[in-house]
Structure formats: structure tokens, C-alpha cells
């Protein structure tokens, strides 16, 4: 009987140990995907704001202010605002100021007619063109990495694993209580069966619930 109970608890524990962490991993991956989607929406929003600062003439103070505000967002590593020729007008990396974008992604972003999103080597890049009346006046580039995503989601990750630990604890406790309750009932039935087998037909097992 004890062996059967131990196997029952072990089986339930194994299922929980596999299922709950897997569910936590799925939730975390969905959060990462949601973070990338949020960054894409932010980049498009910043491109709309940059439109007013790029046309008809670049307003450098407003562009630098926009870069500063964008850089403050958790997870963002780099922000660049380029003119129509790919020259960096405002950036979170001062060394790039005034330079023409020459990186492979930067060239694709400045030539693309629409949104460009790329992930390579744990780094994410988003490029959004800025259009005014059918004329391209610039490009907004946003960069972040897997490391910064992890940092931005650290609170969520802690809550998820706390929930996992709590779920495991509650499940194992509930399993132990159920096993104990079933064990008492099964032991009573086993003892009654042995008594009847020995010829004691007067033995009686009192049911504790209606479904016994």
C-alpha cells in the first residue's frame, strides 16, 4: 500500500515538475515577444514625432530631446535619427553624430520603404522610415539586445518563478493530503477484506462519503 502511495505521489510530482516550468517558460517567451512588439510600436511612434522635427528643416534640439527620451526607456540600447541621405542627425552614441550610416542594417533601413525588423546574434534592430507628403525625410533606428530584454523583464521572471514554486508546493501538499485520505480508506477496505477472507462475515466498513 505504501509503495503504491509513493508511486502515486512520485507520478503527480513528476507531471507537475515538467508541466509547470514548461508553462512558465511559455509565459516568459510570450513576454519577450510582446516586448519586441512593444519596441516596434514605440519606434513607429517616435518616427511620427520625429517627422515634425525633420521637416521642413531639421530641428536639432528637438531631435536630441527625442533621442534622450527614447534612450530612457527600459531595454533600449541605441537610438539614431538619420536624414534622408542616411547621415546621423541625433544619436545616443555621440561618436556617430554627423556620420553616414554604413552598417548593413543601417543601409537596408535607410533604403526600405517601410518598417524593417532584424535579429542577429542576440541583437535586435528596428528601422522606421519618416515620410512627409510622399517624400522621405529621414529614418529612426532603435536597437536593443537579448540581455536588455532579460533585464527589462527581470521582475516578470521573478514573479513567474515565484508562481511556479508556489504551484509546486500547493500541488505536492494537496497530493499528500489526497494520498493520506485515500490511504486510510484503502487500508480499511483491505483489513475488512482480510477479515472476510478469514471467515469473519460480520465485519463492516462504515463509508465516510457518499461515493465510497
Residues 122-145: tens digit of each pLDDT: 999 999 999 999 999 999 999 999
Name the band, by pLDDT with cuts 50, 70 and 90, for residue 159: confident
How many whole angstroms separate alpha carbon 187 and alpha carbon 96? 78
pTM attached to this predicted model: 0.69
55 backbone dihedrals φ, ψ, rounded to 5°: -125, 140
How many whole angstroms separate alpha carbon 29 and alpha carbon 97? 35
Q: What is the per-residue pLDDT for 179? A: 65
Percent of the chain with pLDDT over 90: 49
Taking CA 41 as the corner, what is the angle to CA 38 and CA 45, rounded to the nearest 5 degrees? 135
Residue 91, SS3 per DSSP:
strand
Compare 163 and 192 and report the one with higher pLDDT: 163
Amino acid at each position: 500500500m505504501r509503495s503504491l502511495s509513493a508511486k502515486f505521489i512520485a507520478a503527480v510530482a513528476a507531471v507537475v515538475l515538467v508541466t509547470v516550468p514548461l508553462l512558465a517558460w511559455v509565459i516568459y517567451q510570450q513576454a519577450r515577444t510582446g516586448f519586441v512588439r512593444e519596441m516596434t510600436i514605440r519606434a513607429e511612434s517616435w518616427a511620427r514625432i520625429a517627422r515634425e522635427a525633420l521637416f521642413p528643416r531639421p530641428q536639432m534640439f528637438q531631435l536630441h530631446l527625442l533621442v534622450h527620451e527614447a534612450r530612457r526607456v527600459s531595454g533600449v540600447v541605441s537610438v539614431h535619427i538619420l536624414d534622408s541621405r542616411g547621415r546621423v542627425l541625433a544619436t545616443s552614441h555621440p561618436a556617430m553624430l554627423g556620420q553616414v550610416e554604413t552598417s548593413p542594417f543601417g543601409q537596408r533601413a535607410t533604403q526600405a520603404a517601410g518598417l524593417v525588423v532584424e535579429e542577429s546574434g542576440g541583437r535586435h534592430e528596428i528601422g522606421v522610415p519618416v515620410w512627409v507628403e510622399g517624400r522621405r525625410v529621414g529614418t529612426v533606428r532603435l536597437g536593443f539586445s537579448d540581455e536588455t530584454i532579460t533585464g527589462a523583464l527581470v521582475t516578470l521572471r521573478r514573479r513567474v518563478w515565484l508562481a511556479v514554486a508556489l504551484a509546486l508546493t500547493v500541488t505536492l501538499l494537496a497530493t499528500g493530503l489526497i494520498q493520506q485520505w485515500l490511504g486510510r480508506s484503502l487500508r480499511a477496505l483491505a483489513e475488512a477484506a482480510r477479515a472476510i477472507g478469514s471467515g469473519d462475515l460480520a465485519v463492516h466498513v462504515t463509508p465516510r462519503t457518499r461515493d465510497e
